Amino acid sequence: MKPRIWIVDDEQGICVSLTFALKSSYEVRTFRSSAPLYEQLQRESCDMMLLDLKLGDEDGLEVLKGVKEIDPSISVIMMTAYASIGTSVEAMKAGAFTYLTKPLDLEELKIVLKQALEFRQLSERVSYLSDELESSRHFDRIIGESPGMQRVYELIDTLKDIDSNVLITGESGTGKELVAKAIHEGGKRKDERFIVVNCAAIPENLLESEFFGHRKGSFTGADSDRKGKFELADRGTIFLDEIGDMPLALQAKILRVLQDKEFTPVGAGEPRKVDVRVIAATNRDLRTLIEEKKFREDLYYRLNVMSIEIPPLRERPEDILLLCEHFLQQNSFEMRKSVTGMTQEAVDLLTGYPYPGNVRQLANIMEYACIVCKGGIIDTCDLPGEVKEEYRSMQTAEGRAELEDYLASHSLKEIEKLAILQTLKKNGGRRDKTAEDLGISKRGLLNKIHEYGLKN
C-alpha cells in the first residue's frame, strides 16, 4: 500500500502538477480549502500533508493548528512563496515537520517527503513501544518482561510505601539506582528529595563531612556551615550506592543514624534528629566482606531488612531486544537520526552476547551503533568489535563442542567414512586429490571406498 499524502493548496495548477509528480510513489488527494479537509480528517487520516501558508483568505498556520488538533501524528510540510524566518519559526512551533519555499524543487521535495515518512513511522514505533512497555509494567526507565524483572517490580510495589531499609544487590550496570528511584518516586516520600551518595567516589577524609555536614571552622577549609547528605535527605530518601566500599570507621556512625535516627555534624556538639528512608546498594558480596572483617555484621542486618536482587542481563535474554528497541528510539531522537531497526544478523549478534557490563553496556553498544550507522537500519558492521569477536568465539566454541560430541558418540569406522565423504565432496570427487588430503595412497582410498560402499 502506497503512503498517503494530501495536498492542500488553493491553486489548482499546483495541485495538478504535484499530483502528477507524486502519484507514482504516493496515494495523492488534493484539497482547495480547510472545510473539506477537516471533514475528511474526521473520517480518515494521511501520512503526510503539503499545506500552503496562504490558503485563499485563510491563514495556513491556523489550518496547521486545526490539523494537529485532529491528528497530531501527521507530518505536515508547509509551502509558501513568501519565506521569512518569522513564519518558519511559527510553523515549526505549531507542529510543522519542515518548511519549503515555492517554486518547489522536485528532488528536494522527494527527499523531504521520504524523511517525513520515516519520522512518522519512527514516531508510531515509539508510541507503540511506550504502550508495550507500560503494559509490561516498567518503572521509570526500568525495562524488562522476564520473570526475574517481574519479581523486581513486585518487590518495588511492596516496598514503596513502607519505611524499612532496603538493600539492592546486583552486578555493575544492572540498574540498582533506577530501582532505588522507582521505590522512592512510587511511594509516600516522592515529593521529598532523593539524595544519591556514591560511597566509593568520595575521598575517605571527606566522607564524614559529606554524610553529616560540618560547622564553620571545624577543620581546615571549612569556611562556612555545610549541610550533609542526611540532613538534605530529611523526610525523603538517601541512596547509599557501593555501600561495600565504605570505611569501617564510618560504618559505625552510619549504624547510629539507622538505630537512633540522629547524627552529629562535624564540629557540632548536639546531635540532630532526622527522618530519612535508607536504600543501599552494592555489587559486592557483603557476607564475604563480613568474614574478611571489612564490613560490620550489625550494619549489614540493619540495611538488609528487605532485599532486592537484580538479575544480570545474561540471565534474562528475553529482555535484550526490548532494551535494544528502547535505546534505538532514544538515541535516534537525541541524535536526530532516522534509525528505525536492525538486520536479523545484528539481532543474532546482540542476543548472543553475554553483556559483562549488563544494561549499561548494552546502552553504550546501541549508542555506538546509532552513531556509526549510515542508513536507517543497524547492521553487523555498525556494532562494536567486542560484540562481533565474542560472537565468533562462541560460534567456534559451539562448533568444537559439537565435534567433540560427535567423536565421542561414533565409532572410528563411522568417523573415517564421514571424513572420506566430506573430502571427496570438497574436492569435487577427485580421488587423487582426496587421497593426498587424507594422507593415504590412491589405492588405499579405493579400498576404503569399496569397503564402505561409497559412491561419489
Q: Is the sign of the CA dihedral 389, 395, 400, 404 positive or negative?
A: positive
- The answer on pLDDT for 403 being more than 70 is no
Provide the CATH number for the domain formed by 319-391 in this structure. Answer: 1.10.8.60
Of 137, 127, 241, the C-alpha closest to 182 is: 137
- The answer on pLDDT for 397 being more than 60 is no
Contact 116, 48 (CB under 8 A): yes
- The answer on pLDDT for 241 being more than 80 is yes
pLDDT recorded at residue 414: 72
- The answer on pLDDT for 129 being more than 90 is no
What's the whole-model pTM score?
Answer: 0.58
pLDDT recorded at residue 136: 42
Domain locations along the chain:
4-132, 147-311, 319-391, 411-456
Q: Quick one: CA torsion of 371, 376, 382, 384, rounded to 10 degrees? A: 50
Q: How far apart are CA 226 and CA 210, in angstroms?
A: 9
Model confidence at 113, pLDDT cuts 50, 70, 90, reads very high
* pLDDT (mean) for 330-357: 88
DSSP 380: G
pLDDT per residue as tens digits for the range 22-54: 999 999 999 999 999 999 988 888 889 999 988
- Mean pLDDT rounded to a whole number for the chain: 86
Block residue for cell numbers 548472543: 352
Provide the CATH number for the domain formed by 411-456 in this structure. Answer: 1.10.10.60
Of 359, 349, 343, 364, the C-alpha closest to 394 is: 349
319-391: same fold as 4-132? no
Model confidence at 125, pLDDT cuts 50, 70, 90, reads low
**Neighbour count for residue 397 (Cβ, 10 Å):** 10
Model confidence at 371, pLDDT cuts 50, 70, 90, reads very high
DSSP H or E segment with residue 147 = helix 147-159
Provide the CATH number for the domain formed by 4-132 in this structure. Answer: 3.40.50.2300
- The answer on pLDDT for 139 being more than 50 is yes
Q: Residue 427 to residues 3, 194, 232, 346, 449: CA-CA distances in angstroms?
A: 52, 70, 77, 34, 15
* pLDDT (mean) for 239-266: 91
The percent of residues above 70 in pLDDT, for the chain, comes to: 90
* Fold type of domain 147-311: Rossmann fold (3.40.50)
pLDDT per residue as tens digits for the range 69-104: 998 888 999 988 776 666 777 787 888 888 888 888
pLDDT recorded at residue 395: 57
Least confident of 82-86, 300-304, 391-395: 391-395
* E-strand stretches of 81-145: 98-101
Which is it for strands 27-31 and 166-169: parallel, antiparallel or unpaired? unpaired
